[in-house]
């Protein structure tokens, strides 16, 4: 199983801090999974110009191809101006319309205040559904007060991330099995 962790912002530390914990959790609980963490802050990406994702080169090509090869994607995102960051939206724009077909997508959201709780529900999920992703419905929402000196200080956040990772892997295995069974019935 190929899992990609996508840290969707190029500024700030909270999302990366949480995604680091996701990486650690996956490495410990599911050592057989092939995990890649893509922190957009580490790459220089161009804006989508409408070409096929395979035709991008350099960092942009690497990021789009890695995402397209994944079976599951854990998206980590902060909330900026009551929405997802432009850097994350650009990733969606770089990919084909059905990019998340047969992929499980889960979400981890960091935010300055609880006022942002529904942003993922109302703005991120519709994009993922449109792109045909199988969404892990429950997401992890982490606030400013849960971090201290670039560390997570709320035990409940660890528990919630643990459950998110478990659900992501379980759903990926389940959907893979369902798909295999269904496809075997087609005889082509």
Residues of the shown chain interacting with another protein in the complex, contacts defined by CB under 8 A: 49-55, 68, 96, 98-99, 101-102, 182-183, 186-188
Min dist. Cβ of residue 98 to another protein (A): 7
CA 179 – CA 24 distance, rounded (Å): 29
Min dist. Cβ of residue 54 to another protein (A): 4
Torsion angle defined by CA atoms of residues 22, 59, 105 and 30, in that order, rounded to the nearest 10 degrees: -40
Nearer to another protein, 33 or 68 (CB): 68
Nearer to another protein, 54 or 118 (CB): 54
Strand partners, 148: 151
Instruction: Taking the CA atoms of 148, 151, 152 and 155 in sequence, report the sign of the dihedral they define.
Output: negative
Min dist. Cβ of residue 188 to another protein (A): 4
CB 148 within 8 A of CB 5: no
Closest CA to 147 of 111, 116, 115: 111
Nearer to another protein, 98 or 113 (CB): 98
Nearer to another protein, 28 or 186 (CB): 186
Closest CA to 111 of 157, 74, 73, 155: 157
Min dist. Cβ of residue 19 to another protein (A): 26
């Amino acid at each position: 199983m190929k899992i990609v962790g996508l840290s969707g912002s190029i500024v700030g530390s909270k999302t990366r801090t949480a995604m680091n914990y996701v990486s650690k959790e996956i490495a410990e609980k599911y050592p057989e999974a092939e995990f890649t963490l893509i922190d957009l802050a580490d790459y220089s990406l161009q804006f989508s110009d409408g070409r096929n994702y395979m035709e991008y080169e350099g960092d942009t090509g690497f990021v789009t191809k890695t995402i397209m090869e994944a079976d599951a994607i854990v998206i980590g995102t902060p909330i900026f101006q009551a929405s997802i960051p432009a850097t994350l939206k650009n990733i969606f724009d770089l990919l084909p319309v059905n990019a998340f077909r047969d992929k499980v997508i889960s979400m981890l959201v960091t935010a300055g205040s609880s006022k942002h709780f529904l942003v993922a529900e109302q703005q991120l999920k519709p994009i993922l559904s449109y792109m045909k992703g199988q969404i892990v419905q429950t997401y992890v929402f982490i606030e400013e007060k849960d971090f201290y000196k670039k560390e997570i200080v709320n035990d409940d956040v660890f528990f919630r991330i643990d459950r998110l990772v478990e659900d992501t892997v379980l759903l990926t295995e389940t959907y893979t099995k369902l798909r295999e069974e269904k496809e075997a019935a087609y005889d082509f």
